[in-house]
Structure 1
Amino acid sequence: MPDWSYHAIFRPLLFRLPGRIARNWTLHAIGGLSRIPGGTFVIKTMGHMELSPVLEDQLAGVPIACPIGLSSSLDPHGTAHKALAQFGIGFIELGPVTVRAVHSDAPITRIAEEEAIVYPDGYANDGADAIVARLRKGTGHRLPHFVRLTPMPGSSPREALLQQQELLEKLAPYAAGFYIDGLAEGWPSEEVLAYLDEVRQLGQAAAEGKPLLLYVPQQYPIGMLRELVDTAAAGYSGVVVGEAQRDAGTRSMRVGGAEALAAQLERVRLLREALGEASSIVAAGGVHQPQDALELLAAGANSVQLHSGLVYAGPGLPKRINEAIIYDRIQHTEEQIPPSFWANWGWMNLLGIGMMVGGVLAWLIASTTVLLPYDETFLGVSRSVINRFNGHIIHFMSHDRITLAGTMISIGIFYSQLARHGLRSGLHWARTAVITSCAVGFSSFFLYLGYGYFDPLHATVAAILLPMLLLTMRGLKDYPSRKPPGLLNDAVWRRAQWGQCCFVVLGCGLAIGGLTISFVGITNVFVDTDLVYIGLTAEQLAAWNNQLIPLIAHDRAGFGGALFSLAVAITASALWGVGQGESWLWWTFLWGGLPGFTAGLLIHFHIGYMDFIHLLPVYIAVMLYGIGLYLLYPFLVSSAGKYARVTRTNEQF
């Protein structure tokens, strides 16, 4: 469930349910999807999170693909870890892990106005044995686990030490590192220091070579934290600033809220100043938008962990943070020289222009003669003879061919724009969109042969354009985007989620329409409303001229294939390309949609084929198209102007 579907569809529904039920349903749904064949591919396809080498880092000596972790409390049973691992995270926290299970069925409360979550028991977990059994069975992903070892509630320091020893021995084979918890138990400071020193020695013996990070509760007093840093923290590989505010009386914990980020920033700055650069610092809470993560990293954190931010901002938050980190890291590096026109992207640009030219020519022919000489040769009759038999047949064929022409022009616009702004800049999603759409489009050529009619013009066009696709695929390379990403969960961003949803639904709807038209074209050829418009049955048409239906089938199958190819380009662009300030994509949606919709509507009005049911999908598509453009404009276009003004201002200084 990417952000556009989460905010437009799922979040309004889930937030009507009790917190625990909503969490369980969500985790079981995405976890179940990840466990079926092809499930993780679907999750990756919807989010398209490609982790760049720019993001690679280390956490206390452990290699991680990106500096974003997943908080354990979000999915305490590991139900959806395999799915969540595809969201663009670099490591997963497990914990709190206690020697025995701690269960709680009390309600989980959301405080939506503060973007906070209150859990009834901050110690709740399945217990060490159950977690070890789960890890032994396999998690379905390769991300490193950092395990938070926590004493049983109410334990004394001596009891806690024995428990930590047992936990270390059981979990050492499966953990990349450990978070050592226990500072929330309320022990006297001298006992805390002795406990931490002994746990460190136990860890070095039981989990040799694996880092130990000190887990500090979010509400830990600053004065005590300074004392802790001066005495015990130096022996650890780093410090984790906890995500929650715990209530010692009730054992409940509160995650998120307006004060969480400020508390994290204050403690991260203090720790970095005191510990220097050698120690790792994890900020485990307070991140609800990319700007929050950048602030924590700038303050000295090596990595951040996500929890309540995923609930309120949506599952696309890791991807958005990664894009912000990439931009932050590369904006001052030397810009990559774009490839020359003839290297690869220029050929796709030419392919797009060729599609536009071909579409215009096809439109002119379809709106005048309709039939080409080889069409009449195949039929054995002229256009005038067909008109004397039934005046609607030529109009019906014109309807198919003009809609195909409009679709070709739309495809050409998308290909040309994706080449100029996507392939040229090395955007991985643009390459995937173009190549997938082209593969579908060229493969659909074989649908023309479904009824035995070979169209030499289509074959010639395909033969000219196919080498351009092959030349495009030479030497394509991926580069990170150098455009500033959106950093805030503001009203413009939230509005854009609805606009993105409109275009994704539009693309999927066009894909279904294209497949349906292609299937009808190579099977029944006509739907009922077609025959009502023509005024004849399929049998009557075949009886008059047995070559007529194969010719019409060729047109229908070709249009269906082209529509599906366009749908792939639209869907991929809407899924992966919508980013703040990407004005070119909005103009691509606008100009790329106009020829197809104009052709589809005008030809129906012109020939009088106005059956409401037949045109209902077109009306719905036009509605989604218009609403989507309206909702996306501030995010894609207005933001581009804002960034341009900011850049010019910075350059003046």
Structure 2
Amino acid sequence: MYKSIIRPILFKFDPEEVHYFTFSVLKKFPFIAKTFLPKPIEDQRLEREVFGLKFKNPVGLAAGFDKDAKMFNELSDLGFGFIEIGTLTPTAQDGNPKKRLFRLKEDSAIINRMGFNNGGVDAAVERLKKNKNVLIGGNIGKNKITPNEDAVNDYISCFEKLFDHVDYFVVNVSSPNTPNLRELQDKEPLTKLLGTLQELNLTKKNPKPILLKIAPDLTNSQLLDIIEIIKETQIAGVIATNTTLSREHLSSENKKETGGLSGKPLTKRSTEVIRFLSQKSGKAFPIIGVGGIHSAEDALEKLEAGASLVQLYTGFIYEGPELIREINEKILESL
């Protein structure tokens, strides 16, 4: 029903506007999801324990969809095993000028240059206090006006404020839409940032898992650096991958737009990164696989490559909530 009726209607409108419209409809009329969308699968065999947390199933929603933690309860009801909110910054910011979100229909892809638009971490915390037992990841970043040499303070601020309200943290230094942010992926600044956060984390009574979200555009040498950094800082794992700056083999009219590309064109590369990290590290840490998952087979491929969990974003937009159920069904079949 989603792909034949709902999606064609939604895709007639501006993608950012229709995103917020859909949010408001699901918020005001929750019966719509329960009536017209597939019922989530509940099965204990889908449960996964990863970095000390128990996930009811391994299919999560990636960061960027529920930036401000406004819809995590409703989105969880669609069948996701966990929801990652953010990217959140210490203070609210508008992000980049509109138009900044583009569909590439022929490529089953999206280009975004949102720029960490969010209402700030404090507002999100107030909403997270109403959490109805949804497993939440907190994706954190720095404000655009914060220079890289002071970035660690922004991450610390978000970490401290979110600590009691999320189950795990994700350090986002891989978005291509905040100027110079990806420079923080270099070995020295990244080691310092992650080491500082982990040191702070270990002073807590119950430390939370900290994960690093990396770009798919890193070289093998840089990925080997990532493995070393994780070993040195002892953070919990990696999310592979964020959006790409590559524009290879695209046919859509919007392919020349600047920003991060997500969707099917990323499927192969994100899986390659997962496999490389898993094999070269000797499966030393968990990996959450994300990037171009548009089918149950795509998800299983990432799990077989070494991912412990997977996340959806663009595939969720193109394929609808049915995709969550299809992946979990395929996992059960494979057991």
Match of 1:112 among 105, 114, 123: 105
Aligned to 2:18: 22
- 1:460-506 superposed Cα distances (whole Å, 9 cap, x missing partner): xxxxxxxxxxxxxxxxxxxxxxxxxxxxxxxxxxxxxxxxxxxxxxx
Aligned to 1:189: 187
The 1:102/1:59 distance shift into structure 2, 3 A limit, reads: farther
Match of 2:307 among 301, 309, 313: 301
Q: What is the CA-CA distance between 1:278 and the residue it aligns to?
A: 4.6
2:202 aligned counterpart, secondary structure: helix
Q: What is the CA-CA distance between 1:209 and the residue it aligns to?
A: 2.3
Greater RCO, CA 8 A, separation 6+: 2
Q: What is the CA-CA distance between 1:74 and the residue it aligns to?
A: 1.9
Q: What is the CA-CA distance between 1:103 and the residue it aligns to?
A: 1.4
Matched, 1:13 2:24: no
The 1:165/1:208 distance shift into structure 2, 3 A limit, reads: farther
- What amino acid is aligned across from residue 54 of structure 2 in structure 1? P
CA distance in 2, matches of 1:207, 1:301: 29
2:287 aligned counterpart, secondary structure: strand
- 1:114-165 superposed Cα distances (whole Å, 9 cap, x missing partner): 11112232422221111112112x13x3221111111223644541111222
Q: What is the CA-CA distance between 1:323 and the residue it aligns to?
A: 0.2
Match of 1:135 among 128, 135, 140: 128
1:69 aligned counterpart, secondary structure: strand
1:58 aligned counterpart, secondary structure: strand
Q: Which has the higher helix share?
A: 1
Aligned to 1:286: 292
1:186 aligned counterpart, secondary structure: helix
Aligned to 2:249: none
Aligned to 1:66: 57
Aligned to 1:90: 81
- What amino acid is aligned across from residue 116 of structure 1 in structure 2? A
The 1:44/1:211 distance shift into structure 2, 3 A limit, reads: farther
CA distance in 2, matches of 1:313, 1:159: 40
CA distance in 2, matches of 1:221, 1:127: 33
1:226 aligned counterpart, secondary structure: helix
Max Rg structure: 1
Aligned to 1:164: 155
1:96 aligned counterpart, secondary structure: strand
The 1:154/1:261 distance shift into structure 2, 3 A limit, reads: farther
Indicate conservation of the 8 Å contact 2:59/2:80, yes or no: yes
Indicate conservation of the 8 Å contact 1:243/1:286, yes or no: no
Q: What is the CA-CA distance between 1:202 and the residue it aligns to?
A: 2.0
Matched, 1:323 2:329: yes
Indicate conservation of the 8 Å contact 1:96/1:148, yes or no: yes
1:301 aligned counterpart, secondary structure: coil
Aligned to 1:224: 222
RMSD (CA atoms): 2.3
- What amino acid is aligned across from residue 272 of structure 2 in structure 1? E
The 1:163/1:295 distance shift into structure 2, 3 A limit, reads: same
- 1:361-384 superposed Cα distances (whole Å, 9 cap, x missing partner): xxxxxxxxxxxxxxxxxxxxxxxx
CA distance in 1, matches of 2:36, 2:89: 37
CA distance in 1, matches of 2:243, 2:272: 15
The 1:92/1:29 distance shift into structure 2, 3 A limit, reads: same
Aligned to 1:241: 240
The 1:77/1:261 distance shift into structure 2, 3 A limit, reads: same
The 1:205/1:185 distance shift into structure 2, 3 A limit, reads: farther
The 1:164/1:100 distance shift into structure 2, 3 A limit, reads: same
CA distance in 1, matches of 2:125, 2:77: 23
CA distance in 1, matches of 2:205, 2:89: 17
Unaligned 5+ segments in structure 1 are 330-653
What percent of counterpart residues are identical?
A: 25
CA distance in 1, matches of 2:166, 2:61: 15
- What amino acid is aligned across from residue 256 of structure 1 in structure 2? G
- 1:401-434 superposed Cα distances (whole Å, 9 cap, x missing partner): xxxxxxxxxxxxxxxxxxxxxxxxxxxxxxxxxx
CA distance in 2, matches of 1:11, 1:244: 23
Indicate conservation of the 8 Å contact 1:180/1:214, yes or no: yes
Q: Which has the higher strand share?
A: 2
The 1:78/1:212 distance shift into structure 2, 3 A limit, reads: closer
The 1:14/1:95 distance shift into structure 2, 3 A limit, reads: same
The 1:149/1:80 distance shift into structure 2, 3 A limit, reads: closer
Indicate conservation of the 8 Å contact 1:213/1:237, yes or no: yes
CA distance in 2, matches of 1:153, 1:93: 21
Q: What is the CA-CA distance between 1:304 and the residue it aligns to?
A: 0.6
Matched, 1:52 2:43: yes
Aligned to 1:77: 68
The 1:172/1:117 distance shift into structure 2, 3 A limit, reads: same
Aligned to 2:178: none
1:273 aligned counterpart, secondary structure: helix
Matched, 1:253 2:251: no
Aligned structure 1 segments of 4 or more residues deviating by more than 6 angstroms: none
Unaligned 5+ segments in structure 2 are 175-180, 247-256
Q: What is the CA-CA distance between 1:99 and the residue it aligns to?
A: 0.6
May I ask how many residue pairs the two structures share in their alignment? Answer: 315
Normalised by the length of structure 1, the TM-score is: 0.46
The 1:93/1:269 distance shift into structure 2, 3 A limit, reads: same
CA distance in 2, matches of 1:227, 1:326: 36
Aligned to 1:351: none
1:440-459, aligned counterparts within 5 Å? none
- What amino acid is aligned across from residue 325 of structure 2 in structure 1? K
Aligned to 1:429: none
